């Protein structure tokens, strides 16, 4: 079990990310009991006032990203190296339990199996019933609601919605649509529409509980696509605190358990001030990134060498990994284009240039190629 295995959660899902909130096909039908009319600003204020930290429910996620068929990524068949790719295709169901920042559990339901993440105080467990493997970590004090992989331990719609709403600026029009019903609760439908006609994203819709202000669902639509490219929302929801026993976990008999080291960043910082040579890979890559364009038309460029070529499906067959590995699957998904190869989805394009640079954005390929030529 590797650290890659820790990143399988939906994210925004993401996850991403992060998102990174269940709607099958589209948002639910109109709510039976109309909510008091609110302006976009008032709905945003309702979200900002949301303080619901105890709840349990069932999440449904669907993805129609237009990705090529990825073999060996069906539910319950993914390896530790490719489990995160599985979340980009098909529907997924998860049960979510939360009681404050220190108690959380997510159960992703696979075919005849399940995967669990359990947070109880500073104890963190990951469990996969398919192969009866577990990983355990003891989080440092004041670690917040994050686990060692750097992602939120419960990537629910409120987390994803918060990240989306944080990007609100002059590049989007914000409106309130007709009331909807999510998990039996009347909700406002907050719609973000990019003003750009170039971005691949057509709209983002966030379902906001009319009483608590808790985001209940998020839906992303791509231009020219009838079905939502991505959607995640509750089908069942209780705003009561879950039974405390849900957050207790002990590995089943015969389970293989691995202890995960958790760096103490505070102690490390006291001993040594981080410099360019001591930065984590993610921080170093962020420092090297170049961003062009604005709003939804932003393009991120990473210089050659930032991401190992084997991780992108480049290099020799040996470097690309075994059949069914993440690198091998990505190599199958990429298609040759002028100057390199393209990983394309309904919401995001990634251009891998022959010179090793990588450009990504929610824009057409032509925009990425123009940005690459403008260096």
So what's the pLDDT on residue 15?
Answer: 30
So what's the pLDDT on residue 310?
Answer: 53
So what's the pLDDT on residue 69?
Answer: 54
The residue ranking higher by pLDDT, 189 or 160, is 189
Q: Between the ranges 57-66, 156-165, 260-269, where is the mean pLDDT highest?
A: 57-66
- Long-range contacts at 170-179 (CB < 8 A, ≥ 24 apart): 170/195, 170/295, 171/195, 171/196, 171/294, 171/295, 171/296, 171/297, 172/295, 172/296, 174/40, 174/44, 175/40, 176/38, 176/39, 176/40, 176/43, 177/205, 178/30, 179/30, 179/31, 179/34, 179/35, 179/210
So what's the pLDDT on residue 365?
Answer: 96
Q: Per-residue pLDDT tens for 290-318?
A: 999 988 999 999 998 776 555 555 554 44
C-beta neighbour count of 272 within 10 angstroms = 8
> Partners of 220 in the beta sheet?
204, 230
- Architecture per CATH, domain 3-247, reads as Clam (2.50)
The residue ranking higher by pLDDT, 17 or 201, is 201
The residue ranking higher by pLDDT, 32 or 25, is 32
pLDDT tier at 80, thresholds 50, 70, 90: very low
Within 13 Å of residue 217, how many CA atoms lie on the same side as its CB? 38
Mean pLDDT of 254-268: 76
**Main-chain phi, psi angles of 52, to 5 degrees:** -80, 105
So what's the pLDDT on residue 86?
Answer: 63
**Main-chain phi, psi angles of 125, to 5 degrees:** -125, 145
Mean pLDDT of 127-152: 71
- Domains of the chain by residue range: 3-247, 268-373
Q: What SS3 state is found at 234?
A: strand
Average pLDDT, the chain: 76
Q: Between the ranges 12-21, 108-117, 135-144, 194-203, where is the mean pLDDT highest?
A: 194-203
So what's the pLDDT on residue 68?
Answer: 59
Q: In terms of DSSP bridges, do strands 256-259 and 133-138 run parallel, antiparallel, or are they unpaired? A: parallel
Compute the distance between CA of residue 22 and CA of residue 218 in angstroms, rounded to an integer. Answer: 8
Alpha-carbon Rg for the chain, nearest whole angstrom, is 21
Mean pLDDT of 161-190: 87
pLDDT tier at 75, thresholds 50, 70, 90: very low
Does residue 320 register a pLDDT over 60?
A: no
């Amino acid at each position: 079990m590797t650290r890659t295995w820790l990143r399988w959660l939906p994210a925004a899902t993401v996850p991403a990310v992060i998102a990174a909130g269940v709607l099958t096909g589209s948002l639910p039908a109109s709510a039976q009991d109309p909510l008091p009319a609110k302006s976009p600003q008032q709905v945003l204020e309702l979200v900002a006032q949301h303080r619901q930290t105890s709840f349990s429910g069932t999440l449904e996620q669907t993805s129609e990203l237009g990705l090529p068929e990825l073999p060996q990524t069906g539910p319950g068949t993914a390896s530790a190296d490719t489990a995160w790719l599985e979340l980009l295709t098909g529907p997924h169901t998860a049960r979510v339990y939360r009681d404050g920042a220190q108690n959380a559990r997510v159960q992703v339901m696979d075919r005849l199996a399940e995967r669990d993440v359990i947070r109880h105080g500073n104890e963190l467990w990951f469990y996969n019933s398919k192969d009866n493997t577990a990983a355990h970590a003891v989080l440092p004090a004041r670690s917040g609601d994050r686990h060692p992989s750097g992602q939120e331990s419960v990537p629910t719609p409120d987390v994803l919605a918060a990240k989306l709403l944080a990007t609100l600026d002059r590049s989007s029009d914000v409106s309130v649509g007709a009331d909807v019903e999510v998990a039996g609760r009347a909700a406002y439908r907050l719609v973000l529409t990019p003003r750009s006609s170039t971005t691949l994203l057509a709209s983002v819709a966030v379902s906001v509980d009319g009483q608590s202000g808790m985001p209940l669902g998020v839906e992303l639509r791509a231009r020219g696509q009838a079905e939502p490219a991505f959607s995640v929302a509750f089908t069942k929801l209780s705003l009561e605190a879950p039974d405390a026993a849900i957050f207790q976990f002990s590995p089943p008999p015969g389970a293989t358990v691995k202890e995960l080291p958790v760096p103490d960043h505070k102690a490390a910082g006291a001993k040594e001030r981080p410099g360019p040579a001591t930065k984590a890979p993610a921080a170093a890559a962020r420092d090297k990134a170049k961003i062009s364009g604005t709003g939804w038309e932003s393009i991120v460029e990473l210089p050659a060498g930032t991401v190992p070529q084997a991780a992108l499906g480049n290099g020799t067959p040996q470097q690309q990994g075994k059949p069914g590995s993440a690198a091998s699957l990505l190599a199958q998904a990429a298609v040759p284009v002028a100057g390199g190869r393209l990983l394309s989805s309904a919401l995001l394009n990634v251009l891998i240039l022959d010179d090793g640079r990588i450009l990504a954005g929610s824009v057409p390929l032509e925009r990425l190629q123009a940005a690459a030529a403008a260096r």
